[in-house]
Amino acid sequence: MRANDLARLVMATVGYGPFDLVEFKSLFALYSPTSVTNWVDGHLGGLAAQKRLSIATLIQALSELTAENPDRPDMLHCTQIADVCRRILGDKQFPTRMDVAAAINGLALMVPNVISISMQSYDVFLNASPAKIRETILQQLNSIPDDLRYGIVREKI
């Protein structure tokens, strides 16, 4: 595996959440760097076609949930966040709490000092205001080469 392919996979995890490990297992049967690159290309192409929760929508939902309490709650549940996201998007089915959990899990990999999640309870822990979370994400994204930003930034956040 080339370092670039590994970097693409890591960044895709941030943008799309954890991979399906059953699908991912087939990667380990490959021995040629070119075969690995082709597998990564195909896998990332499939991810790009999936519906995903944008960082902008997620930050907007967090902002709305914390607006009533400027000191912000320490913990929110993915179900609460999903409800607000569905209202923002005008979609009664997307995102689910699992979609929110995957998105926040990806963000927690990138900015663990400001947001984290318990994947057992689906509790989201805010260590900063949504504005600070957004600012920290932008700082991190500015350090990532454009060609590795898979699924992370498609619109302004």
2-48 pLDDT tens trace? 888 888 887 777 666 667 778 888 898 899 999 999 998 888 887 76
Q: What is the per-residue pLDDT for 17?
A: 66
Least confident of 50-64, 75-89, 90-104, 112-126: 50-64
SS3 assignment, position 126: strand
Q: What is the per-residue pLDDT for 116?
A: 92
Give the mean model confidence (pLDDT) for residues 134-145.
Answer: 81
Task: Note whether 24 and 123 are within 8 A (CB).
Answer: no
pLDDT above 70 as % of the chain: 86
CA 149 to chain CA centroid, Å, is: 11
Beta strands in the chain (DSSP E): 75-77, 115-118, 123-126
Distance, in Å, from the CA atom of 44 to the CA atom of 130, rounded to the nearest integer, reads 29
From 3.40.50.1370, 3.90.76.10, 1.10.1740.10, 1.10.10.1420, which CATH number describes the 55-143 domain? 1.10.10.1420
What is the DSSP pairing of strand 75-77 with strand 115-118? unpaired
- pLDDT bracket for residue 60 (50, 70, 90): very high
Whether the predicted pLDDT of 153 surpasses 50: no
- pLDDT bracket for residue 148 (50, 70, 90): low
Task: Note whether 148 and 6 are within 8 A (CB).
Answer: no
Name the residue ranges covered by the structural domains of the chain: 3-48, 55-143
Distance, in Å, from the CA atom of 144 to the CA atom of 137, rounded to the nearest integer, reads 11
- Which residues neighbour 69 within 8 Å (Cβ) at sequence distance 6 or greater? none
Task: Note whether 150 and 131 are within 8 A (CB).
Answer: no
